[in-house]
Structure 1
Amino acid sequence: MYAEHRYQPQQSRAVSIGASLLISGAIITGMIYSAPNIIKHVTPIFEATQIPIEQPPPPDPQPIDKKVLVKTPTQPPITVPDPIVKTDRDPIIRTTPDIPPVQPDIAKPVEVGPPVVVDPPKPVPALIGAKRDPRYADAFQPNYPASELRAQRDGRVAVRVLVGPDGRVKAVEQVSATSAAFFEATKQQALARWRFKPATRGGVAEESWMTLSVTFQIKDQ
């Protein structure tokens, strides 16, 4: 199949081109005549100029007080003396082989006063230890602990006691014990009922430590 082509004469094409040119010219002419109306609506541009500001005049200079201007007195230059001591250039040194004898100095006798007798220090009196008071011998043995008595067990306790100047026990320390029950019974008895003749030093009573032993036996009950 062939496409359909229509024939157009050359005269009609020329007429079309002329009409197009006339329309374009009319549009351009209208734009030229309407341009002044568009420029009238443009916002004008303002130009600013700098106006110089007058500066205030400088203050008047203050008068200078003549009393303040005091001339500093000048001091004379300081001179340092020469540290070198001038001596003779060729000193004469004289020597001799003779040695003078040494003369003994005669000392004055020292005045001696009466002799001072110093007493020798007194010896420190020995400490006489504490002893059990025989008047309280029956109160020495503690009560037998009930738990050890039921167990039919004998015991032995060694304690250190601090005896005060009044003969009473002030503290009890355990050295050894068969059981805690035996030690507790001994401690309570010592603090409550034990009595001693206190230790003395030069006839003055002092507190002292002493070690004692207590024996617990079932056969004595």
Structure 2
Amino acid sequence: MYADRYARPTRFIPTGLTAAVAINAALVAALIFAAPHVLPTPPADGPLDTYTVPSDPPPPPPTPQPEPHEKSARVPDEVIVAPRPDVPVIRDTIVPTVDPTFAPPTYGDRIGADPVVRVDPGPVATPLPPLVAPSIDPRYADALQPPYPAAERRANREGRVTVHALIGVDGRVKQIERVDATSDAFWKATEAQALSRWRFRPGTRGDVPVEAWRTMTLRFVLEDD
């Protein structure tokens, strides 16, 4: 038949098998020798000291160099001009003092004559009108005598009080001052009566009411019943 004519008998080639086995063996040996060898470390005696190894500082950044054809721009100096405040300057001013009453001398017609000095007397001051002292208002005359102090009455003691009273323009006593008194009891009774009950006709100067002082003397006399 035609098929058997072209078919060739199959033969076993031992050389190819040997080469394949040798190549595989070489690869396995290469893998074995290439693996790292981990040797057992004997335990150390005592605690294990550890420390940190400082790392090297990083190198400084490189300084940028200008381009060979590029010129560095020059920054102009900034000048700040502050406005000058207007501060008033105070200077001592000398004001000449002129006497209003001084008049320059006048000279006569004759050469060598003594100068005649004329002095202006100035305005003549008008004298003030006389002061009319306060007077007792007859309508309140019965209120001048203060009540008799009970302690002085029981002691059968009489007394006398002298005071200075400031009479206002309304006729009331605005202030009273002690001049003389037999005892404090007589003085206190007089002070209270004067500030509350005394009434006067105010003092005048040119028909104008003004405040004025008046001296008053009161006697405390025991009367027989």
What is the TM-score when the length of structure 2 is the normalising length?
0.47
